[in-house]
Structure 1
Amino acid sequence: MPTSPLVTLSDGRAIPQLGLGVYKVSDSEATDAAAHALETGYRHIDTAAFYENERGVGQAIRASDVPRHEVFVTSKVWQSDHGYDETRRAFDTSLEKLGFDYLDLYLIHWPAPRQNRYVETWRALESLKADGVVRSIGVSNFHPHHLERLAQEGGETPVVNQVELHPWLQQAEVRKYDAAHSIATEAWSPLARGRILDDPTLAALAAKHGRSAAQIVLRWQLDLGNIVIPKSITPERIRENIDVFDFALDDDDRARIAALDSGQRTGKDPDDLG
Protein backbone atom coordinates (compact mmCIF):
# COMPACT_ATOMS: atom_id res chain seq x y z
CA MET A 1 0.00 0.00 0.00
CA PRO A 2 1.63 3.31 -1.07
CA THR A 3 2.30 5.88 1.63
CA SER A 4 3.10 9.52 1.02
CA PRO A 5 6.33 11.11 2.16
CA LEU A 6 6.01 13.82 4.78
CA VAL A 7 6.83 17.51 4.45
CA THR A 8 7.94 19.27 7.64
CA LEU A 9 6.23 22.64 7.95
CA SER A 10 7.94 25.69 9.42
CA ASP A 11 6.13 25.13 12.74
CA GLY A 12 7.71 21.68 13.00
CA ARG A 13 4.58 19.69 12.17
CA ALA A 14 4.57 17.14 9.37
CA ILE A 15 2.02 16.95 6.55
CA PRO A 16 1.73 14.10 4.03
CA GLN A 17 2.88 15.50 0.69
CA LEU A 18 0.03 13.87 -1.22
CA GLY A 19 -3.56 13.95 -0.03
CA LEU A 20 -7.15 13.73 -1.21
CA GLY A 21 -9.16 16.79 -2.21
CA VAL A 22 -12.96 16.71 -1.99
CA TYR A 23 -13.88 19.98 -3.70
CA LYS A 24 -17.67 20.43 -3.95
CA VAL A 25 -18.75 16.80 -3.69
CA SER A 26 -21.70 15.75 -1.57
CA ASP A 27 -21.42 14.55 2.02
CA SER A 28 -22.09 10.96 1.00
CA GLU A 29 -19.58 11.11 -1.86
CA ALA A 30 -17.00 12.65 0.47
CA THR A 31 -17.58 9.87 3.00
CA ASP A 32 -17.09 7.16 0.39
CA ALA A 33 -14.07 8.84 -1.22
CA ALA A 34 -12.33 9.54 2.09
CA ALA A 35 -13.03 6.01 3.34
CA HIS A 36 -11.53 4.50 0.21
CA ALA A 37 -8.57 6.88 0.37
CA LEU A 38 -7.80 5.86 3.93
CA GLU A 39 -7.99 2.18 2.97
CA THR A 40 -5.62 2.89 0.07
CA GLY A 41 -2.97 4.57 2.21
CA TYR A 42 -3.86 8.27 2.18
CA ARG A 43 -3.37 10.06 5.48
CA HIS A 44 -4.26 13.60 4.37
CA ILE A 45 -7.77 14.87 3.54
CA ASP A 46 -8.50 18.45 2.43
CA THR A 47 -12.00 19.90 2.83
CA ALA A 48 -13.52 23.36 3.41
CA ALA A 49 -16.67 24.97 4.77
CA PHE A 50 -17.53 26.05 1.22
CA TYR A 51 -17.51 22.45 0.01
CA GLU A 52 -20.37 21.59 2.38
CA ASN A 53 -18.98 18.11 3.02
CA GLU A 54 -17.08 18.44 6.29
CA ARG A 55 -19.65 16.21 7.96
CA GLY A 56 -19.05 13.47 5.40
CA VAL A 57 -15.27 13.70 5.72
CA GLY A 58 -15.48 13.52 9.50
CA GLN A 59 -17.80 10.53 9.35
CA ALA A 60 -15.35 8.60 7.17
CA ILE A 61 -12.41 9.33 9.46
CA ARG A 62 -14.29 8.48 12.64
CA ALA A 63 -15.52 5.19 11.14
CA SER A 64 -12.06 4.23 9.87
CA ASP A 65 -9.67 1.87 11.57
CA VAL A 66 -7.01 4.56 11.13
CA PRO A 67 -6.55 6.51 14.39
CA ARG A 68 -7.55 10.18 14.21
CA HIS A 69 -4.03 11.36 15.06
CA GLU A 70 -2.67 9.59 11.97
CA VAL A 71 -4.91 11.54 9.57
CA PHE A 72 -3.98 15.11 8.64
CA VAL A 73 -7.18 17.09 8.07
CA THR A 74 -7.41 20.57 6.55
CA SER A 75 -10.43 22.87 6.39
CA LYS A 76 -10.87 26.49 5.40
CA VAL A 77 -12.86 29.58 6.34
CA TRP A 78 -14.93 31.02 3.50
CA GLN A 79 -14.88 34.69 2.53
CA SER A 80 -18.41 35.34 3.84
CA ASP A 81 -17.03 34.63 7.33
CA HIS A 82 -14.04 36.98 7.24
CA GLY A 83 -13.46 38.98 10.41
CA TYR A 84 -12.23 37.98 13.85
CA ASP A 85 -15.48 36.94 15.54
CA GLU A 86 -17.02 35.60 12.35
CA THR A 87 -14.03 33.36 11.70
CA ARG A 88 -14.05 31.93 15.19
CA ARG A 89 -17.76 31.10 14.85
CA ALA A 90 -17.17 29.55 11.42
CA PHE A 91 -14.38 27.43 12.84
CA ASP A 92 -16.61 26.16 15.63
CA THR A 93 -19.21 25.16 13.03
CA SER A 94 -16.61 23.34 10.94
CA LEU A 95 -15.22 21.48 13.94
CA GLU A 96 -18.73 20.43 15.00
CA LYS A 97 -19.51 19.11 11.53
CA LEU A 98 -16.24 17.18 11.39
CA GLY A 99 -16.88 15.78 14.86
CA PHE A 100 -13.31 16.44 16.02
CA ASP A 101 -11.81 18.25 18.98
CA TYR A 102 -8.99 19.77 16.93
CA LEU A 103 -8.03 20.46 13.31
CA ASP A 104 -4.58 19.83 11.85
CA LEU A 105 -4.58 22.79 9.46
CA TYR A 106 -6.97 25.73 9.04
CA LEU A 107 -6.67 28.07 6.08
CA ILE A 108 -8.12 31.38 4.93
CA HIS A 109 -9.77 30.12 1.74
CA TRP A 110 -9.43 33.36 -0.30
CA PRO A 111 -8.01 36.77 0.64
CA ALA A 112 -11.17 38.54 -0.66
CA PRO A 113 -9.23 41.81 -0.89
CA ARG A 114 -12.25 44.01 -1.59
CA GLN A 115 -13.59 43.12 1.87
CA ASN A 116 -10.23 44.14 3.35
CA ARG A 117 -10.67 41.83 6.35
CA TYR A 118 -8.16 39.06 5.84
CA VAL A 119 -5.76 40.49 8.43
CA GLU A 120 -8.55 40.30 11.05
CA THR A 121 -9.29 36.79 9.87
CA TRP A 122 -5.63 35.84 10.22
CA ARG A 123 -5.61 37.11 13.80
CA ALA A 124 -8.55 34.81 14.51
CA LEU A 125 -6.57 31.86 13.12
CA GLU A 126 -3.65 32.81 15.37
CA SER A 127 -5.98 32.83 18.36
CA LEU A 128 -7.39 29.40 17.43
CA LYS A 129 -3.88 28.03 17.28
CA ALA A 130 -3.05 29.61 20.65
CA ASP A 131 -6.17 27.94 22.08
CA GLY A 132 -4.91 24.54 20.91
CA VAL A 133 -7.86 23.70 18.66
CA VAL A 134 -5.81 24.14 15.48
CA ARG A 135 -2.33 22.68 15.14
CA SER A 136 -1.16 24.70 12.10
CA ILE A 137 -2.49 27.74 10.25
CA GLY A 138 -2.08 28.95 6.71
CA VAL A 139 -3.70 30.58 3.72
CA SER A 140 -5.07 29.68 0.32
CA ASN A 141 -5.01 31.66 -2.93
CA PHE A 142 -2.73 34.37 -1.57
CA HIS A 143 -0.54 36.33 -3.98
CA PRO A 144 2.82 37.55 -2.66
CA HIS A 145 1.38 41.02 -2.04
CA HIS A 146 -1.32 39.54 0.21
CA LEU A 147 1.36 37.61 2.10
CA GLU A 148 3.46 40.76 2.39
CA ARG A 149 0.57 42.55 4.07
CA LEU A 150 0.22 39.73 6.58
CA ALA A 151 3.95 39.95 7.25
CA GLN A 152 3.65 43.69 7.92
CA GLU A 153 0.43 43.62 9.96
CA GLY A 154 0.08 40.08 11.26
CA GLY A 155 2.13 38.07 13.68
CA GLU A 156 2.89 34.53 12.58
CA THR A 157 3.89 33.57 9.06
CA PRO A 158 1.51 31.09 7.38
CA VAL A 159 2.98 27.60 7.15
CA VAL A 160 1.10 26.78 3.93
CA ASN A 161 -0.11 28.71 0.89
CA GLN A 162 -2.53 26.58 -1.12
CA VAL A 163 -2.89 27.86 -4.69
CA GLU A 164 -4.06 26.70 -8.09
CA LEU A 165 -0.96 25.10 -9.58
CA HIS A 166 -0.54 22.77 -12.56
CA PRO A 167 1.59 22.62 -15.73
CA TRP A 168 -0.41 25.43 -17.36
CA LEU A 169 -0.11 27.63 -14.23
CA GLN A 170 3.21 26.89 -12.57
CA GLN A 171 3.17 29.87 -10.18
CA ALA A 172 6.91 30.55 -10.23
CA GLU A 173 6.55 33.91 -8.45
CA VAL A 174 4.37 32.46 -5.69
CA ARG A 175 6.64 29.44 -5.21
CA LYS A 176 9.71 31.69 -5.05
CA TYR A 177 8.11 33.94 -2.43
CA ASP A 178 6.85 30.99 -0.41
CA ALA A 179 10.26 29.30 -0.43
CA ALA A 180 12.00 32.51 0.66
CA HIS A 181 9.67 32.76 3.65
CA SER A 182 9.56 29.06 4.63
CA ILE A 183 5.95 28.73 3.46
CA ALA A 184 5.04 25.36 1.95
CA THR A 185 3.31 25.63 -1.44
CA GLU A 186 0.30 23.36 -1.83
CA ALA A 187 -1.34 22.74 -5.21
CA TRP A 188 -5.09 22.66 -5.66
CA SER A 189 -6.43 21.66 -9.07
CA PRO A 190 -3.07 19.95 -9.64
CA LEU A 191 -4.43 18.32 -12.82
CA ALA A 192 -6.15 21.51 -14.08
CA ARG A 193 -9.53 19.90 -13.32
CA GLY A 194 -8.58 17.12 -15.70
CA ARG A 195 -8.40 19.49 -18.68
CA ILE A 196 -4.66 19.08 -19.16
CA LEU A 197 -4.61 15.30 -19.31
CA ASP A 198 -5.04 15.14 -23.09
CA ASP A 199 -1.99 17.33 -23.66
CA PRO A 200 0.31 15.66 -26.24
CA THR A 201 3.45 16.29 -24.18
CA LEU A 202 1.94 14.57 -21.15
CA ALA A 203 0.63 11.74 -23.31
CA ALA A 204 4.14 11.17 -24.68
CA LEU A 205 5.65 11.17 -21.19
CA ALA A 206 2.95 8.80 -19.97
CA ALA A 207 3.78 6.39 -22.79
CA LYS A 208 7.52 6.70 -22.04
CA HIS A 209 7.07 5.75 -18.39
CA GLY A 210 4.12 3.36 -18.76
CA ARG A 211 2.01 5.58 -16.52
CA SER A 212 -1.08 7.75 -16.85
CA ALA A 213 -0.85 11.44 -17.68
CA ALA A 214 -2.23 12.20 -14.20
CA GLN A 215 0.57 10.22 -12.58
CA ILE A 216 3.15 12.10 -14.65
CA VAL A 217 1.77 15.46 -13.47
CA LEU A 218 1.57 14.37 -9.84
CA ARG A 219 5.15 13.07 -9.94
CA TRP A 220 6.21 16.45 -11.41
CA GLN A 221 4.37 18.27 -8.61
CA LEU A 222 6.11 16.18 -5.96
CA ASP A 223 9.50 16.74 -7.60
CA LEU A 224 8.92 20.51 -7.33
CA GLY A 225 8.41 20.02 -3.59
CA ASN A 226 4.73 20.93 -3.70
CA ILE A 227 2.13 19.41 -1.43
CA VAL A 228 -0.59 18.13 -3.74
CA ILE A 229 -4.27 17.23 -3.23
CA PRO A 230 -5.81 15.68 -6.35
CA LYS A 231 -9.58 15.41 -6.17
CA SER A 232 -11.37 12.20 -7.08
CA ILE A 233 -14.40 10.21 -5.98
CA THR A 234 -13.54 7.25 -8.23
CA PRO A 235 -11.83 4.38 -6.34
CA GLU A 236 -9.59 3.46 -9.28
CA ARG A 237 -8.35 7.04 -9.69
CA ILE A 238 -7.90 7.54 -5.96
CA ARG A 239 -5.68 4.44 -6.00
CA GLU A 240 -3.85 5.53 -9.17
CA ASN A 241 -3.14 9.04 -7.82
CA ILE A 242 -1.17 7.78 -4.83
CA ASP A 243 0.73 5.18 -6.84
CA VAL A 244 3.42 7.65 -7.90
CA PHE A 245 6.33 6.92 -5.58
CA ASP A 246 8.02 4.12 -7.53
CA PHE A 247 9.14 5.92 -10.68
CA ALA A 248 11.12 9.04 -11.51
CA LEU A 249 11.09 11.77 -14.12
CA ASP A 250 14.36 12.87 -15.65
CA ASP A 251 15.59 16.40 -16.36
CA ASP A 252 14.32 16.29 -19.94
CA ASP A 253 10.86 15.24 -18.76
CA ARG A 254 10.72 18.12 -16.30
CA ALA A 255 11.93 20.59 -18.94
CA ARG A 256 9.18 19.48 -21.32
CA ILE A 257 6.55 20.00 -18.63
CA ALA A 258 8.04 23.38 -17.66
CA ALA A 259 7.50 24.49 -21.28
CA LEU A 260 3.73 24.02 -20.87
CA ASP A 261 3.41 27.04 -18.56
CA SER A 262 0.97 29.53 -20.12
CA GLY A 263 -0.52 31.28 -17.08
CA GLN A 264 -3.90 29.70 -17.81
CA ARG A 265 -6.19 29.42 -14.79
CA THR A 266 -9.16 27.12 -14.31
CA GLY A 267 -10.41 29.24 -11.39
CA LYS A 268 -10.52 32.90 -10.40
CA ASP A 269 -7.58 35.21 -9.88
CA PRO A 270 -7.42 35.86 -6.12
CA ASP A 271 -7.56 39.63 -6.67
CA ASP A 272 -10.87 39.22 -8.51
CA LEU A 273 -12.81 37.14 -5.98
CA GLY A 274 -14.54 38.80 -3.06
Structure 2
Amino acid sequence: MSVHSEIKRRSVPELMAYKGNKKIVCLTAYSAPIARLIDPAVDLILVGDSTAMVGYGMRDTLSITLQQMTDHGAAVVNATQQACVVIDMPFGSYQVSPQQAFENAAFMLAHSGATAVKIEGGVALAETTRFMVERGIPVLAHVGLMPQYVNTMGGFKAQGMNETAAERIVADALAHQEAGAFAVVIEGVAESLGRRITETLRIPTIGIGASPACDGQVLVTEDILGLSGDRIPRFAKNFGDAASVIRDAAQQYAHEVRDGSFPAMEHCFGVKKTK
Protein backbone atom coordinates (compact mmCIF):
# COMPACT_ATOMS: atom_id res chain seq x y z
CA MET A 1 0.00 0.00 0.00
CA SER A 2 1.49 3.32 -1.05
CA VAL A 3 1.81 6.17 1.41
CA HIS A 4 1.15 9.70 0.16
CA SER A 5 3.66 12.25 1.36
CA GLU A 6 2.31 15.30 3.13
CA ILE A 7 1.73 18.19 0.73
CA LYS A 8 3.04 21.41 2.24
CA ARG A 9 2.52 23.67 -0.73
CA ARG A 10 -0.53 25.82 -0.99
CA SER A 11 -3.04 23.95 -3.11
CA VAL A 12 -5.52 25.11 -5.72
CA PRO A 13 -8.53 24.49 -3.41
CA GLU A 14 -6.73 26.42 -0.67
CA LEU A 15 -6.21 29.42 -2.95
CA MET A 16 -9.82 29.30 -4.12
CA ALA A 17 -10.91 29.49 -0.48
CA TYR A 18 -9.09 32.82 -0.14
CA LYS A 19 -11.98 34.48 -2.00
CA GLY A 20 -13.54 36.97 0.39
CA ASN A 21 -11.24 35.90 3.24
CA LYS A 22 -7.65 36.90 2.54
CA LYS A 23 -5.56 38.34 -0.25
CA ILE A 24 -3.51 36.13 -2.56
CA VAL A 25 0.10 37.32 -2.76
CA CYS A 26 1.79 36.43 -6.03
CA LEU A 27 5.17 37.26 -7.56
CA THR A 28 7.02 35.96 -10.60
CA ALA A 29 10.17 33.86 -10.53
CA TYR A 30 12.21 32.29 -13.28
CA SER A 31 15.30 31.09 -11.39
CA ALA A 32 16.10 29.11 -8.26
CA PRO A 33 17.77 31.95 -6.28
CA ILE A 34 14.85 34.37 -6.68
CA ALA A 35 12.27 31.64 -6.10
CA ARG A 36 14.00 30.51 -2.90
CA LEU A 37 14.01 34.05 -1.51
CA ILE A 38 10.37 34.90 -2.22
CA ASP A 39 8.89 31.49 -1.34
CA PRO A 40 8.28 32.23 2.38
CA ALA A 41 6.48 35.49 1.60
CA VAL A 42 4.05 34.55 -1.16
CA ASP A 43 1.10 32.23 -1.74
CA LEU A 44 1.65 31.73 -5.45
CA ILE A 45 4.70 31.94 -7.70
CA LEU A 46 4.03 32.54 -11.37
CA VAL A 47 6.68 31.33 -13.78
CA GLY A 48 5.60 33.92 -16.29
CA ASP A 49 6.40 34.05 -19.97
CA SER A 50 7.63 37.53 -19.06
CA THR A 51 10.93 35.70 -18.57
CA ALA A 52 11.30 36.20 -22.34
CA MET A 53 11.69 39.94 -21.74
CA VAL A 54 13.07 39.96 -18.19
CA GLY A 55 15.40 36.98 -18.43
CA TYR A 56 16.35 36.94 -22.11
CA GLY A 57 15.99 40.56 -23.19
CA MET A 58 13.43 39.75 -25.88
CA ARG A 59 11.12 42.54 -27.05
CA ASP A 60 7.95 40.63 -26.14
CA THR A 61 6.77 37.28 -24.77
CA LEU A 62 6.10 35.56 -28.09
CA SER A 63 9.43 33.81 -28.68
CA ILE A 64 9.85 31.81 -25.46
CA THR A 65 9.51 28.06 -26.03
CA LEU A 66 7.65 25.28 -24.28
CA GLN A 67 10.91 23.64 -23.24
CA GLN A 68 12.31 26.89 -21.86
CA MET A 69 9.19 27.53 -19.80
CA THR A 70 9.26 23.96 -18.51
CA ASP A 71 12.92 24.24 -17.51
CA HIS A 72 12.34 27.53 -15.69
CA GLY A 73 9.35 25.96 -13.96
CA ALA A 74 11.47 23.06 -12.75
CA ALA A 75 14.08 25.47 -11.37
CA VAL A 76 11.41 27.31 -9.38
CA VAL A 77 9.74 24.15 -8.08
CA ASN A 78 13.06 22.62 -7.03
CA ALA A 79 13.98 25.72 -5.05
CA THR A 80 10.68 26.16 -3.17
CA GLN A 81 8.57 24.39 -0.57
CA GLN A 82 5.54 26.51 0.26
CA ALA A 83 4.14 28.46 -2.68
CA CYS A 84 1.84 27.05 -5.30
CA VAL A 85 3.75 27.20 -8.61
CA VAL A 86 1.93 28.06 -11.84
CA ILE A 87 3.58 28.14 -15.28
CA ASP A 88 2.54 30.27 -18.23
CA MET A 89 1.85 28.29 -21.37
CA PRO A 90 3.86 30.01 -24.11
CA PHE A 91 2.41 31.49 -27.27
CA GLY A 92 1.41 28.85 -29.80
CA SER A 93 1.39 25.96 -27.33
CA TYR A 94 -2.36 25.92 -26.61
CA GLN A 95 -4.25 27.93 -29.23
CA VAL A 96 -4.56 25.27 -31.94
CA SER A 97 -6.93 22.97 -30.06
CA PRO A 98 -7.88 21.80 -26.56
CA GLN A 99 -6.06 18.55 -27.30
CA GLN A 100 -2.85 20.40 -28.15
CA ALA A 101 -3.20 22.46 -24.97
CA PHE A 102 -3.68 19.38 -22.79
CA GLU A 103 -0.71 17.55 -24.26
CA ASN A 104 1.61 20.51 -23.80
CA ALA A 105 0.29 21.36 -20.33
CA ALA A 106 0.70 17.73 -19.25
CA PHE A 107 4.30 17.81 -20.49
CA MET A 108 5.02 21.04 -18.60
CA LEU A 109 3.57 19.81 -15.32
CA ALA A 110 5.11 16.35 -15.56
CA HIS A 111 8.61 17.69 -16.27
CA SER A 112 8.56 20.68 -13.91
CA GLY A 113 6.54 19.57 -10.91
CA ALA A 114 4.38 22.69 -11.06
CA THR A 115 0.75 22.60 -9.94
CA ALA A 116 -1.08 24.49 -12.69
CA VAL A 117 -0.81 26.37 -15.95
CA LYS A 118 -1.91 29.84 -17.00
CA ILE A 119 -3.38 30.68 -20.41
CA GLU A 120 -4.35 34.00 -21.96
CA GLY A 121 -7.56 34.39 -23.91
CA GLY A 122 -11.22 35.24 -23.86
CA VAL A 123 -14.41 33.33 -24.54
CA ALA A 124 -12.80 31.50 -27.47
CA LEU A 125 -10.31 29.79 -25.11
CA ALA A 126 -12.88 28.82 -22.46
CA GLU A 127 -13.41 25.39 -24.01
CA THR A 128 -9.67 24.82 -23.79
CA THR A 129 -9.82 25.61 -20.09
CA ARG A 130 -12.71 23.18 -19.66
CA PHE A 131 -10.94 20.42 -21.59
CA MET A 132 -7.83 20.67 -19.41
CA VAL A 133 -9.62 21.01 -16.08
CA GLU A 134 -11.81 17.99 -16.78
CA ARG A 135 -8.61 16.01 -17.36
CA GLY A 136 -6.89 17.02 -14.17
CA ILE A 137 -4.93 20.16 -15.08
CA PRO A 138 -5.76 23.24 -12.99
CA VAL A 139 -5.99 26.41 -15.09
CA LEU A 140 -5.40 30.03 -14.14
CA ALA A 141 -7.06 32.21 -16.77
CA HIS A 142 -5.77 35.62 -17.91
CA VAL A 143 -7.98 38.37 -19.35
CA GLY A 144 -7.75 42.07 -20.09
CA LEU A 145 -4.38 43.18 -21.38
CA MET A 146 -2.88 39.95 -22.71
CA PRO A 147 0.81 40.24 -23.70
CA GLN A 148 0.56 37.31 -26.11
CA TYR A 149 -1.99 39.38 -28.05
CA VAL A 150 0.36 42.36 -28.32
CA ASN A 151 0.16 42.41 -32.12
CA THR A 152 -3.64 42.30 -32.33
CA MET A 153 -4.02 44.78 -29.47
CA GLY A 154 -1.60 47.22 -31.08
CA GLY A 155 0.82 47.24 -28.17
CA PHE A 156 0.73 47.03 -24.38
CA LYS A 157 -2.33 49.25 -23.93
CA ALA A 158 -4.87 49.42 -21.11
CA GLN A 159 -8.06 47.51 -21.91
CA GLY A 160 -11.73 47.87 -21.05
CA MET A 161 -11.72 51.64 -21.30
CA ASN A 162 -15.17 51.85 -22.88
CA GLU A 163 -18.44 50.04 -22.23
CA THR A 164 -18.21 47.67 -25.18
CA ALA A 165 -14.67 46.59 -24.35
CA ALA A 166 -15.53 46.25 -20.67
CA GLU A 167 -18.50 43.99 -21.37
CA ARG A 168 -16.33 41.76 -23.54
CA ILE A 169 -13.76 41.33 -20.77
CA VAL A 170 -16.46 40.56 -18.20
CA ALA A 171 -17.78 37.90 -20.58
CA ASP A 172 -14.25 36.50 -20.97
CA ALA A 173 -13.79 36.15 -17.22
CA LEU A 174 -17.20 34.59 -16.70
CA ALA A 175 -16.61 32.09 -19.50
CA HIS A 176 -13.40 30.84 -17.89
CA GLN A 177 -15.05 30.66 -14.48
CA GLU A 178 -17.83 28.50 -15.88
CA ALA A 179 -15.24 26.37 -17.68
CA GLY A 180 -13.55 25.55 -14.37
CA ALA A 181 -10.64 27.99 -14.02
CA PHE A 182 -9.61 28.23 -10.37
CA ALA A 183 -8.80 31.96 -10.62
CA VAL A 184 -8.44 34.75 -13.16
CA VAL A 185 -5.58 37.20 -13.67
CA ILE A 186 -6.89 40.61 -14.68
CA GLU A 187 -4.22 42.77 -16.28
CA GLY A 188 -4.15 46.39 -17.40
CA VAL A 189 -7.82 47.32 -17.20
CA ALA A 190 -9.81 50.29 -15.94
CA GLU A 191 -9.98 50.16 -12.14
CA SER A 192 -13.77 50.08 -12.10
CA LEU A 193 -13.73 47.07 -14.40
CA GLY A 194 -11.27 45.16 -12.24
CA ARG A 195 -13.50 45.85 -9.25
CA ARG A 196 -16.63 44.82 -11.12
CA ILE A 197 -15.17 41.51 -12.29
CA THR A 198 -13.96 40.73 -8.76
CA GLU A 199 -17.40 41.39 -7.32
CA THR A 200 -19.05 39.32 -10.07
CA LEU A 201 -16.93 36.17 -10.01
CA ARG A 202 -17.15 33.34 -7.48
CA ILE A 203 -13.47 32.52 -8.01
CA PRO A 204 -10.52 34.71 -6.98
CA THR A 205 -9.18 37.47 -9.19
CA ILE A 206 -5.50 38.38 -9.21
CA GLY A 207 -4.82 41.89 -10.39
CA ILE A 208 -1.87 43.50 -12.11
CA GLY A 209 -2.70 47.04 -13.03
CA ALA A 210 -6.35 46.31 -12.28
CA SER A 211 -7.85 47.24 -8.90
CA PRO A 212 -7.08 47.14 -5.16
CA ALA A 213 -10.41 45.29 -4.88
CA CYS A 214 -8.98 42.20 -6.61
CA ASP A 215 -8.66 39.12 -4.43
CA GLY A 216 -4.89 39.14 -4.93
CA GLN A 217 -2.07 40.94 -6.67
CA VAL A 218 0.83 39.84 -8.87
CA LEU A 219 3.92 41.76 -9.96
CA VAL A 220 7.15 40.93 -11.75
CA THR A 221 9.74 40.47 -9.02
CA GLU A 222 12.42 42.33 -10.94
CA ASP A 223 10.11 45.38 -11.08
CA ILE A 224 9.75 45.55 -7.29
CA LEU A 225 13.53 45.10 -6.79
CA GLY A 226 14.65 47.87 -9.11
CA LEU A 227 16.14 45.41 -11.60
CA SER A 228 14.06 46.39 -14.61
CA GLY A 229 16.01 49.48 -15.63
CA ASP A 230 14.76 53.03 -15.65
CA ARG A 231 11.22 52.29 -16.82
CA ILE A 232 8.95 50.79 -14.18
CA PRO A 233 5.34 50.05 -15.27
CA ARG A 234 2.76 52.43 -13.85
CA PHE A 235 1.07 49.58 -11.98
CA ALA A 236 4.30 48.47 -10.26
CA LYS A 237 6.14 49.87 -7.25
CA ASN A 238 9.80 49.67 -6.33
CA PHE A 239 9.94 47.99 -2.92
CA GLY A 240 13.75 47.68 -2.80
CA ASP A 241 16.98 48.64 -4.52
CA ALA A 242 18.66 45.34 -5.32
CA ALA A 243 20.26 46.95 -8.35
CA SER A 244 22.57 49.13 -6.26
CA VAL A 245 23.53 46.16 -4.05
CA ILE A 246 24.49 44.09 -7.11
CA ARG A 247 26.25 47.02 -8.76
CA ASP A 248 28.26 47.85 -5.63
CA ALA A 249 29.24 44.21 -5.06
CA ALA A 250 30.41 43.86 -8.67
CA GLN A 251 32.45 47.06 -8.41
CA GLN A 252 34.06 45.95 -5.14
CA TYR A 253 34.89 42.54 -6.61
CA ALA A 254 36.42 44.16 -9.71
CA HIS A 255 38.48 46.51 -7.53
CA GLU A 256 39.88 43.69 -5.39
CA VAL A 257 40.72 41.51 -8.39
CA ARG A 258 42.55 44.37 -10.06
CA ASP A 259 44.53 45.40 -6.97
CA GLY A 260 45.41 41.80 -6.17
CA SER A 261 43.68 41.58 -2.79
CA PHE A 262 41.29 38.87 -4.03
CA PRO A 263 41.69 35.99 -3.90
CA ALA A 264 43.66 35.83 -0.66
CA MET A 265 45.36 32.69 0.63
CA GLU A 266 42.27 31.86 2.67
CA HIS A 267 40.36 31.39 -0.59
CA CYS A 268 42.90 28.90 -2.00
CA PHE A 269 43.28 25.13 -1.72
CA GLY A 270 46.38 23.34 -0.43
CA VAL A 271 47.39 26.22 1.78
CA LYS A 272 47.85 25.69 5.50
CA LYS A 273 45.83 28.01 7.67
CA THR A 274 47.90 30.20 9.94
CA LYS A 275 46.87 30.86 13.54
- State the TM bucket, normalised to the shorter chain: 0.3 to 0.5
Where relative contact order (Cα < 8 A, 6+ residues apart) is larger, the structure is 1
Q: Which entry has the higher C-alpha Rg, 1 or 2?
A: 2
